[in-house]
Amino acid sequence: MKIRRIGVYRIDLPLKESYSLSGGRLVTERLDSTFVRIETDCGLEGWGEGCPWGHSYLPAHGQGLRASLDVLAPSLLGRDPRSLDTLNRVMDARLPGHLYAKSPIDMACWDLVGKAAAEPLWRLFGGEEPVPVEINSSIPTGTPEAMVAGIERARREGYRVHSAKLGGHDAAVDIERIDAIEDALVTGEHITWDINRAWTPAIALEVLNSVSSTAWVEQPCETLEQCAMVARKVRQPVLLDECLHDFHDHLLAWRTGVFAGIKVKPNRVGGLTRARRIRDLAIDVGWKMHIEDVGGTALADTAAIHLAASTPQPYRMASWPAHDHIAWDPVPGQGVRNRGGFLVPTGHPGLGVVPDEEHTGPPVAVYS
C-alpha cells in the first residue's frame, strides 16, 4: 500500500460559548481545525484531525499546522502508511519538533492500518472489547455561582466526573470557587481542579493547603519543576498536562517521583503512535491517565477514545469530549457520542469516522 494523495481541509469550529481558562488569561471563541485525508493506491483512505485549542493554549495553531503539513506531506508520498514508526522518523527528519502537525498524519495512517487489517483501533491498541469510557465535563473559569451552574448543567447531560478551570492571582477567589463547587457535588461525583499553569507555586500552596478538598489537581504551575515543588507539599494528588510534550518530558516527570497521573493528548505529543508509547509507560510506572485530545470534532475525540478504551481500567480516568463544546458538527452522528455519560468506540475498521466533502468543503491543499 502506498500513499498516493494527501488532502488538507480547514474546518472552522465556533464554540457554543466563549471558553475561559487559566484564571481568565486564555479565552477562546472558535477553533481552527485541520482534517487530513490520505488516499492510497489500493483504494483505501484514512482520515485524521489536528485541532489546537485556539492559538494561546499551547505552542500550536491552525495556520502553523497547515504550514507544517506543507513541509511534511511531500516526504510521505509513495510510502506505506502502515509503517508508522518509519513514517514518524521520516517526518522528524524532515521537520524536527512541530509535534502537533504530525498528529493528524499519524492518525490518518492509523485509520488506514485499521482498515487494512479490518480491525477497530481499540483492538490494535491492545483492547479486548469496546469498553465504554466515562466522560468528564470541562467547566470554564467563572464566578463560583456560574461554575456551580455549569456543573449542574453537565450533570443533566450525564456527566458524573467534572474538571473545573481555576487559577489566578487571588488565592481567596479560588478557595471560594473550590469550596462552592465541593458543596455542590452530589454523591458519586468526582472533580479535578485544572489550573492550566496559572498559579505561582506560592499561590498553589496557599490555596491547596487551605481547602478541605482532596481532589486531583492538574498542572498547577507553568513548569514541571514548579509543579513538582507543589506536589511535594500538598495532600492532593497532582497530574501533569501542558508541560509534557515528548517522551523525555515524561521520563523527567517520572524521575521526580511526586506525580500521580498525566493527561495523554495525541495532538500535544505528536499522534497516536507516540501517545500509545506514553500510555504504555504510564501503565508501567503506575500513573493514572485522562486520555483525550486537545480539541476538535468527534473525529479527534474518537481517535483518543480508541486509545482510552484499550487502556486497563485501573489506569484510566474519564475522558473529555471536546466536540461537546462545538456549535456545529462536520461528521454528523459519527464516532463517539455521549451515551448516558459514556463514550463507546464502534467495531468499524480503523477510526470508524469517515468525513465527506459535503461537510468539510473542498481541500485547501492537495499533495500528489
Instruction: Give the catalytic positions in this structure.
Output: 165, 265
* Residues β-bridged to residue 217: 193, 238
Integer Cα distance of 146 and 180 in angstroms: 10
**Beta strand 216-218 pairing with 190-194:** parallel
CB of 76 to Mg ion, least distance (A): 31
CB of 263 to Mg ion, least distance (A): 6
Q: Which is nearer to Mg ion, 270 or 352 (CB)?
A: 270
Q: Which is nearer to Mg ion, 3 or 178 (CB)?
A: 178
Backbone angles phi, psi at 27, to 5 degrees: -125, 130
146: helix, strand or coil: helix
DSSP H or E stretch at residue 11: strand 3-21
> Should residue 241 be labelled a site residue for Mg ion when binding is judged by CB under 5 A?
yes
Q: C-beta of 145: minimal distance to Mg ion in Å?
A: 23
Q: How far is the CB of 284 from Mg ion (least distance, A)?
A: 23
The one among 194, 292, 293, 301 contacting Mg ion by CB under 5 A: 194
CB of 123 or CB of 265, closer to Mg ion: 265
Stretch that binds Mg ion, among 75-83, 86-94, 237-245, 290-298 (CB under 5 A): 237-245
Q: What angle do CA 178, 181, 187 make, to 5 degrees?
A: 125
Please give the residue whose beta carbon sits closest to Mg ion in the complex.
Answer: 241
292 touching Mg ion, by CB under 5 A? no
Please tell me the distance from the alpha carbon of residue 53 to that of residue 293, in angstroms, as a whole number: 10
Tell me the three state secondary structure of residue 49: strand
In angstroms, what is the minimal distance from the CB of 195 to Mg ion?
A: 8
Q: Rule CB under 5 A: which of 201-230 touch Mg ion? A: 218
Number of residues located near Mg ion, criterion CB under 5 A: 3
Q: Which three cell numbers stand for residue 153?
A: 448543567
Which among 171, 138, 175, 141 has a CA at the least distance from the CA of 157? Answer: 138
Q: Which is nearer to Mg ion, 3 or 51 (CB)?
A: 51
Contact 250, 279 (CB under 8 A): no
Residue 191: beta bridge partners?
162
Q: What is the DSSP letter of 315?
A: G
- Comparing CB distances to Mg ion, the nearer of 106 and 194 is 194
The interface region with Mg ion, picked from 78-86, 183-191, 192-200, 232-240 by CB under 5 A, is: 192-200
Query: Which stretch, 22-30, 149-157, 234-242, 285-293, contacts Mg ion (CB under 5 A)?
Result: 234-242
Smaller CB distance to Mg ion: residue 106 or 241? Answer: 241
Q: Smallest distance from the beta carbon of 338 to Mg ion, in angstroms? A: 20
Contact 45, 288 (CB under 8 A): no
160: three-class secondary structure by DSSP: coil
Kindly give the residue spans of alpha helices, DSSP state H, lying in the chain. 62-72, 84-94, 99-117, 121-124, 144-156, 171-184, 201-208, 224-231, 247-256, 266-269, 272-285, 298-309, 357-360
Sites of contact with Mg ion (CB under 5 A): 194, 218, 241
